[in-house]
A and B are shown apart, each in its own frame.
Chain A
């Protein structure tokens, strides 16, 4: 009996450990696999390529982590990327300086995020439904802004965004890292972060403790929208064009996967920033791995699906004793 009890305790301990640290282990396994099976994997080039591809995923996932921390989800991030990209194109083709155009693109993301937040916090629509609206409508809006077509953009700054490096690290990766540090600080040290976790942990109790629950939710969705727009600008620079029907496509699923794999619970009340960043890198590397082994894109999607199911399974709340 005692061994059984100990065994059970071990099992819950293992489950808890997997939940917290599984993502690092998975990344390690994938790196080791690649080191053995993929030619020329362990080179500076590989790392640089990965670090130039992964930043948009990281940036979107950071916002998603906050939203999921409140017990919600933001399905609109991919469409917000498209909207930001379209706004960017509109301003650039209209003759605005690139700095203004970028600011306008990010402001558009902020605006859509605030809208999501208001629908969730004030109208009390379920987050999945509220943001589904923008997911569906967003690309349409983006297409209307660009006039329904792909707009090629020739902006010198885009080359820097694409290829610029500092000490060998792509600029965009530095931006993503700085944003990760900022969001982590927000969660750990500010009253806002504290409130976010409380709202996600128990909304009713947060109201009764006098927390500004609605304001917190609006700000969280606003941050998510803003970060998605930043990712949209980077994606546009990389593509050298605004293509509303392609930019940010399925990004919401990738970001949710990164967040959940990284140890943030879908039920809310917990946010893991380092885990989220690692999760984003894991998914990007997985995609690269599958591509370099000539697996078709469809297989990549299936593998991603398997990972999200496994992650959600590990993250599921322990069954209550009742």
Chain B
């Protein structure tokens, strides 16, 4: 075995006492593509940022060609030959492709930029990588895929020996993805060590030699792609061993007979270019419908679309038989739809406001008389929900940002519940909260459903979806793979669906390749 170009040994990192990465080791070899996969919060980006000097290690080491290194900034990592390509292209969109290609190392002639040489050399270099682009045009006018590839070619031309690609294809069209993967193959042939972070499994299986799975900041497994089945990979990402799974395909305890009644929520044929493709979710009163799928499968997007926060190209959504028209959260709330957003901090909390004000926020219209907020009614409602959800705080006037994650989540739930919604969309209701709060939230969801609410539940923990749902819609790449009900709801079946679809897609694309 050759010495690795880059080796990370027992890397650990904590943020404010919370484990982000614990004892993770990986090795990158020249001419090899190494996939890094895992759900949100698994530690992928932390690991990358430790390698590239954005964060510093708490313990462990990084060795570049056998020598221990500690980069204090991304710039010094770059100088050592480690290039990082992010989802968004970090170049200057106003400058020409050629200028970008030579950014920071421009050739000069008599003290001024040698534009001719820049144009000629960059065009040549890009052609070598099979990239067709007018190098005199501003980079920003090109397609995202081409921009991405210019960034990669640029990185390699600056003698990068390690190239890290962080979800490079997340905003690319399928055709552009193919071009990008071709480029990856060329880099591989040039003996570059590549880290490929992606949640798109077919790309991972197509392009990568080694796969490392992270979960909750820990290394789950690392090994050659050939020794891993799609099914195994999915189960490692989502949290259980395949063997263990067969035993635990148990569904929600005491699954109730649902009232037959008319569905509360009918969201059918939701379409949005490149994001959702003919997804339908129907929820009857008292039903919990789980949305299962990997990160990027369209599960959050489906909830956002129903809530009016993601404009649709087409689709029919109705609540209690009444079609919903305006695609804005404000109008959806008025029509009885409420959503708990996935990212508590960025999309939910108003950090500077008190618990009280955060809870009352969405119900403001009901708590207001001719423009004036009724303090008494706000206090009453806040008191009711703080008791009901057992929100632990010094007082309702405490700033919400001082609370624990679990209590913050309960504040957001309280905000939704005082709207008395008919439809409750819960995107990752238990992410990042402690075990006790998690159990409480899960019990609350079940209770709300029993009272006749229609609930849509999203979780990256398959176990939570399986145990909490009456039916499950399985998604992949924005499309619906199937719908499971009753005893069919098992982790096993969900993973089978995802894995089968993945392999079908691979076969299809291989067939196309072969026909060429």
Q: In the assembly, what is the distance between CA of A270 and CA of B401, in Å? A: 14
- The answer to whether B353 touches A201 (Cβ under 8 A) is yes
Q: In the assembly, what is the distance between CA of A319 and CA of B347, in Å? A: 21
- The answer to whether B329 touches A194 (Cβ under 8 A) is no
Distance (whole angstroms) from the CB of B93 to the closest CB of chain A: 18
- A293 CB contacts on chain B under 8 angstroms: none
- The answer to whether B15 touches A190 (Cβ under 8 A) is no
- The answer to whether A208 touches B341 (Cβ under 8 A) is yes
- The answer to whether A202 touches B329 (Cβ under 8 A) is no
Q: In the assembly, what is the distance between CA of A202 and CA of B357, in Å? A: 13
Q: In the assembly, what is the distance between CA of A229 and CA of B346, in Å? A: 37
Total of A-B residue pairs, C-beta within 8 Å: 81
Q: In the assembly, what is the distance between CA of A89 and CA of B508, in Å? A: 77
B481 within 8 A of A: no
- The answer to whether B350 touches A205 (Cβ under 8 A) is yes
B361 within 8 A of A: yes
- The answer to whether A210 touches B329 (Cβ under 8 A) is yes
- The answer to whether A201 touches B351 (Cβ under 8 A) is yes
A184 within 8 A of B: no
Of A192, A198, A210, the contact of B371 (CB 8 Å cutoff): A192
Given contacts A204-B346, A205-B350, A269-B350, contact A210 B333 (CB under 8 A): yes
Of B307, B334, B371, the contact of A191 (CB 8 Å cutoff): B371
Which bucket holds chain B's interface residue count? 20 to 34
Of A190, A198, A212, the contact of B350 (CB 8 Å cutoff): A198
A209 within 8 A of B: yes
| Interface residue SS majority, chain A | helix
Write the A164-205 contact mask toward B (1 if CB under 8 angstroms, else 0): 000000000000000000000000011110110110011011
- The answer to whether B349 touches A205 (Cβ under 8 A) is yes
Q: In the assembly, what is the distance between CA of A204 and CA of B361, in Å? A: 13
Write the B410-440 contact mask toward A (1 if CB under 8 angstroms, else 0): 0000010000000000000000000000000
- The answer to whether B364 touches A321 (Cβ under 8 A) is no
- The answer to whether A321 touches B15 (Cβ under 8 A) is yes
A93 within 8 A of B: no
A207 within 8 A of B: yes
Q: In the assembly, what is the distance between CA of A206 and CA of B346, in Å? A: 10
B498 within 8 A of A: no
- The answer to whether A190 touches B373 (Cβ under 8 A) is yes
Distance (whole angstroms) from the CB of B385 to the closest CB of chain A: 15
Which residues of B (318-365) have their CB < 8 Å from a CB of A?
Answer: 329-330, 332-334, 339, 341, 346-353, 357, 360-362, 364-365
Of A191, A202, A208, the contact of B368 (CB 8 Å cutoff): A191
B16 within 8 A of A: yes
B372 within 8 A of A: yes
B309 within 8 A of A: yes
Q: In the assembly, what is the distance between CA of A195 and CA of B307, in Å? A: 20
Q: In the assembly, what is the distance between CA of A269 and CA of B352, in Å? A: 6
Of B16, B341, B350, the contact of A197 (CB 8 Å cutoff): B350
- The answer to whether A204 touches B347 (Cβ under 8 A) is yes
- B332 CB contacts on chain A under 8 angstroms: 210
Q: In the assembly, what is the distance between CA of A143 and CA of B446, in Å? A: 68
- The answer to whether B348 touches A269 (Cβ under 8 A) is no
Q: In the assembly, what is the distance between CA of A201 and CA of B349, in Å? A: 9
A211 within 8 A of B: yes
- The answer to whether A194 touches B16 (Cβ under 8 A) is no
Nearest B residue to A207 via CB reads: B329
- B364 CB contacts on chain A under 8 angstroms: 191, 194-195, 211
Distance (whole angstroms) from the CB of A188 to the closest CB of chain B: 9
- B347 CB contacts on chain A under 8 angstroms: 204-205, 208
Known: A190-B371, A201-B353, A210-B333. 20 other contacts (CB 8 A): A190-B372, A191-B372, A192-B371, A197-B350, A197-B353, A197-B357, A201-B350, A202-B349, A204-B347, A205-B347, A205-B348, A205-B350, A208-B329, A209-B415, A210-B329, A210-B330, A210-B332, A269-B351, A269-B352, A270-B352
Which B residues are within 8 Å of any A CB, using their own CB? Answer: 15-16, 307, 309, 329-330, 332-334, 339, 341, 346-353, 357, 360-362, 364-365, 367-368, 371-373, 415
16 interchain pairs, CB-CB under 8 A: A189-B373, A191-B365, A191-B371, A191-B372, A195-B364, A198-B350, A198-B353, A201-B350, A202-B349, A205-B341, A206-B350, A207-B309, A209-B361, A210-B362, A211-B330, A321-B15
Nearest 10 pairs between A and B by C-beta? Answer: A210-B333, A201-B350, A269-B352, A210-B330, A191-B368, A209-B362, A321-B16, A209-B361, A201-B352, A202-B350
